[in-house]
């Protein structure tokens, strides 16, 4: 019986790890932050995060009528578009920026788009925003503290407080039922 429980627990570990990609990614960023590879990881994460925030928020505006969630989505589009434009103006970041979502974020966006009811769209969007901003907060804080590219580190330092504010705002959103 003990072996069966242990074996079941070991089999569940890889499955559980699939649902925690952000933690693994952040661990890598935190370890590599003082290296040029850490800069690549940060720029990639920040750019993909911005693209996901913009695309998921645009979709939300099409499907949802919830005023607080719509207001949040509009703010995400404005803030993350401005952040992307600012990062593109940093010469050392421009050549590191991806031009499309990575597979994980493409799946998240597809999941949001597949929701059949407005209630599920709202709930999925809010949960994705919380998880995405938790990941971004950790990455921005790590790079702001230990980044090796001065211009990109200054960018992370300037925007880390706003990312934390986005996280706090997302946590306060209450997705209504039947809206």
Domain ranges in the chain are: 21-172
Give the pLDDT confidence score for residue 167 in this predicted structure. Answer: 96
Distance CA 95, CA 37 (A): 13
Average pLDDT over the chain, rounded to an integer: 84
Q: How many CB atoms lie within 10 A of CB 58?
A: 13
DSSP-assigned letters across all residues of 139-172: HHHHHHHH-S-HHHHHHHHHHHHHHHHHHHHHHH
Q: What is the DSSP letter of 179?
A: -
Give the pLDDT confidence score for residue 13 in this predicted structure. Answer: 35
Q: Which CATH number fits domain 21-172: 1.20.1260.10, 3.30.565.10, 3.40.1190.10, 3.40.50.1820?
A: 1.20.1260.10
> Global pTM?
0.78
160: pLDDT strictly greater than 70: yes
With tokens 């946590």, the residue in question is: 171
List the structure tokens of 169. 């705002």
Give the pLDDT confidence score for residue 149 in this predicted structure. Answer: 94
20: pLDDT strictly greater than 80: no
Give the pLDDT confidence score for residue 175 in this predicted structure. Answer: 45
**Residues of the chain with pLDDT > 90: what percent?**
73
Between 12 and 90, the higher pLDDT residue: 90
Exposed / middle / buried, residue 113 (Cβ in 10 Å: 0-12, 13-18, 19+): middle
Q: Do the Cβ atoms of 57 and 73 come closer than 8 Å?
A: yes
Between 131 and 9, the higher pLDDT residue: 131
Give pLDDT tens digits for 106-121: 999 999 999 999 999 9
């Amino acid at each position: 019986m003990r072996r069966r429980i242990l074996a079941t627990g070991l089999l569940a570990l890889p499955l559980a790890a699939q649902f925690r990609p952000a933690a693994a990614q952040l661990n890598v960023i935190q370890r590599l932050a003082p290296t040029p590879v850490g800069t690549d990881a940060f720029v990639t994460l920040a750019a993909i995060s911005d693209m996901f925030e913009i695309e998921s928020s645009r979709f939300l505006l099409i499907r949802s009528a919830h005023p607080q969630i719509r207001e949040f989505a509009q703010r995400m589009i404005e803030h993350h578009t401005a952040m992307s434009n600012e990062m593109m103006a940093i010469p050392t970041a421009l050549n590191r920026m991806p031009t499309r979502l990575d597979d994980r974020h493409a799946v998240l966006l597809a999941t949001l788009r597949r929701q059949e009811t407005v209630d599920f769209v709202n709930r999925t969007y809010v949960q994705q925003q919380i998880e995405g901003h938790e990941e971004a907060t950790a990455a921005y804080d790590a790079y702001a503290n230990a980044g090796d590219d001065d211009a990109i580190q200054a960018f992370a330092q300037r925007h880390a407080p706003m990312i934390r504010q986005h996280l706090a705002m997302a946590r306060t959103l209450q997705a209504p039922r039947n809206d």
